[in-house]
């Protein structure tokens, strides 16, 4: 009884003091910059529309989103969605250019996108990239650290696309753990061993083959907790090949992580999370739930022993919520508890013997 009372008190306290995950990384998705010809209102509004188009690509994960009528409405309405903007000067190629830097209001932009049934993707898995190359029949590990211009171009494009990349150091430890043959044969144990030292949720491996005219074709594998997908990039200059790979990875990941709001968004999905024993545990859980794009809202419905029952309103489907919780790294799925044996109410009144009924059951990992 004492444990049940304490968890109820904990639930009430947590509703008052629950923290939120840092929004800095998410807010960065809504910042864009471009060169302007002058500081007139006409030039500013035209540039803001172009910047909103860039933001929509980044937030939705769809490079072609600008072709949709609903997206064009937001692009035209860009000035009303700006939270702040400023001008600055920069020297480029021996001349000074004027730039407009704009920050769009995250809440208003997301709300407008969802109202138009556009995908919103703010839960960004970090992507670790391994590359191997083949030229003249010789295969080697490809180090972006030794190709600073290519590396800078790749990182800039990934930032524009909103795909956070983790690039390996390619030092002696990496070279001892991973070989070109591992990447070419898609040898998962070797890839996983070499990847363990780097923070990541997804691994992207690329096998680059040189063609005439310093062009490259690429064969790619995107690996996450749900399995793997493969794709190819056509012959192009190396920086363009890498950009194409980022674009394709963006589409693949957005299809998995960016729920699309539909008419009559679902609600009433019940999730029970066990092993929530203290305020610190709930704080971690609450911060993670704040990052889930599929969640439109949630309420704490009941506390039981060391667990909590949440009622979720969703932008997408219950299956998308289940997948997002499984991929959070903080929860482990559990089977529902066994139903209690029936009793005769005339002999013994029914009493609760387990956690409340829920659509999904999880356990918070320590």
**Both 284 and 334 in a single domain?**
yes
Q: Are residues 235 and 340 in the same domain?
A: no
- How many domains is the chain built from? 3
Q: What is the CATH number of the domain that holds 160?
A: 3.40.50
Q: Based on the domain organization, do 139 and 241 belong to the same domain?
A: yes
In a domain, 168, yes or no: yes
Domain stop point among 115, 135, 165: 115
The burial of 67, by beta-carbon neighbours within 10 Å (0-12 exposed, 13-18 middle, 19 or more buried), is given as exposed
Question: Among 115, 149, 171, where does a domain finish?
Answer: 115
How much is the average pLDDT of 48-63? 93
Tell me, yes or no, whether 239 and 133 share the same domain: yes
pLDDT for residue 275: 92
Percent of the chain with pLDDT over 90: 57
Q: Does residue 248 share a domain with residue 133?
A: yes
Q: Which residues contact 111 (CB under 8 A, 6 or more apart)?
A: none
Q: 14 vs 96, which has greater pLDDT?
A: 96
Q: Which two tokens stand for residue 58?
A: 């980044």
Closest CA relative to residue 133, chosen from 190, 204, 216: 216
- Non-local CB neighbours of 178 within 8 Å, separated by 6+ positions: 130, 141, 190, 191, 193, 194
Residues 43 and 68 in one domain: yes
Taking phi over 0 as left and psi of -120 to 50 as alpha, with beta for the rest, 186 belongs to left
Closest CA to 158 of 126, 190, 130, 182: 126
| Residues 235 and 329 occupy one common structural domain | no
* Residue 223 covered by a domain: yes
Kindly state whether residue 215 falls inside one of the protein's structural domains: yes
Please check whether residues 110 and 145 belong to one and the same domain: no
pLDDT of residue 17: 36
Roughly what angle, to the nearest 10 degrees, separates helices 41-60 and 106-115?
70
Instruction: Please give the Cα distance from 318 to 326 (Å, whole number).
Output: 12
Q: Which residues contact 129 (CB under 8 A, 6 or more apart)?
A: 144, 165, 166, 167, 168, 203, 204, 205, 206
Q: Do residues 39 and 139 both lie within one domain? A: no
Residue 68 counted as domain residue: yes
Same domain for 107 and 143, yes or no, is no
Q: Are residues 135 and 212 in the same domain?
A: yes
Residue 14, pLDDT score: 40
Residues 138-168 pLDDT 10s: 999 999 989 999 999 999 999 989 899 999 9
The domain in which residue 318 lies consists of: 262-364
The SS3 call for residue 219 is strand
Taking residues 202-228, report their average pLDDT.
Answer: 94
19 pLDDT exceeds 50? no
Pairing between strand 165-166 and 138-141? unpaired
Residue pair 58/246 in contact by the 8 Å Cβ criterion: no
Specify if 343 maps to a domain: yes
Nearest-angstrom CA–CA distance, 235 and 214: 10
Instruction: Using the 3D structure, point to which of 256, 289, 309 is the last residue of a domain.
Output: 256
User: Looking at the domain assignment, is residue 225 inside a domain?
Assistant: yes
Q: Is position 15 within any domain? A: no
Rounded distance, CA 297 to CA 314, Å? 7
Q: Which of 13-22, 257-266, 267-276 has the lowest mean pLDDT?
A: 13-22
303-315 pLDDT tens trace: 777 888 898 988 8
How far apart, in Å, are the Cα atoms of 222 and each of 201, 204, 252?
11, 5, 8
pLDDT value at position 267? Answer: 57
Whether residue 170 is contained in a domain is answered as yes
Q: Are residues 154 and 60 in the same domain?
A: no
pLDDT of residue 51: 97
Cα–chain center distance at 313? 20
């Amino acid at each position: 009884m004492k444990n049940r009372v304490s968890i109820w008190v904990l639930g009430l306290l947590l509703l008052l003091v629950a923290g939120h995950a840092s929004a800095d990384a998410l807010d960065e998705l809504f910042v864009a910059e471009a060169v302007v010809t002058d500081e007139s209102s006409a030039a500013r509004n035209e540039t803001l529309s172009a910047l909103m188009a860039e933001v929509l690509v980044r937030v939705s994960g769809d490079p072609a989103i600008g072709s949709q009528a609903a997206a064009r409405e937001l692009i035209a309405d860009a000035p009303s969605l700006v939270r702040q903007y400023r001008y600055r000067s920069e020297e480029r190629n021996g001349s000074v250019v004027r730039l407009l830097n704009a920050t769009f209001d995250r809440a208003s932009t997301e709300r407008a996108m969802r109202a138009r049934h556009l995908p919103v993707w703010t839960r960004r898995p970090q992507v670790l990239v391994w590359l191997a190359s083949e030229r003249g029949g010789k295969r080697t590990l490809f180090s972006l650290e030794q190709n600073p211009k290519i590396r800078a171009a790749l990182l800039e494009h990934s930032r524009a696309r909103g795909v956070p990349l983790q690039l390996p150091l390619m030092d002696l430890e990496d070279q001892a753990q991973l070989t070109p043959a591992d990447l070419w044969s898609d040898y998962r144990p070797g890839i996983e061993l070499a990847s363990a030292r780097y923070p990541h949720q997804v691994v992207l491996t690329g096998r680059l083959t040189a063609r005439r005219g310093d062009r490259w074709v690429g064969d790619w594998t995107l690996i996450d907790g749900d399995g793997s997908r493969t794709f190819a990039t056509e012959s192009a200059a190396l920086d363009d090949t890498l950009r194409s790979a980022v674009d394709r990875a963006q589409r693949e990941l957005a299809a998995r992580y960016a729920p699309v709001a539909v008419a009559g968004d679902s609600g009433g999905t019940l999730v029970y999370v066990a092993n929530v024993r203290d305020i610190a545990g709930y704080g971690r859980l609450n911060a993670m739930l704040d990052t889930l794009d599929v969640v439109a809202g949630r309420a704490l419905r009941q506390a039981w022993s060391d667990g909590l029952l949440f009622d979720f309103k969703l932008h997408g489907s219950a299956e998308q919520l289940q997948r997002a919780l499984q991929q959070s790294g903080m929860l482990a799925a559990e089977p529902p508890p066994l139903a209690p044996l029936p009793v005769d109410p005339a002999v013994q009144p029914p009493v609760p013997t387990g956690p409340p009924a829920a659509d999904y059951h999880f356990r918070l990992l320590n």
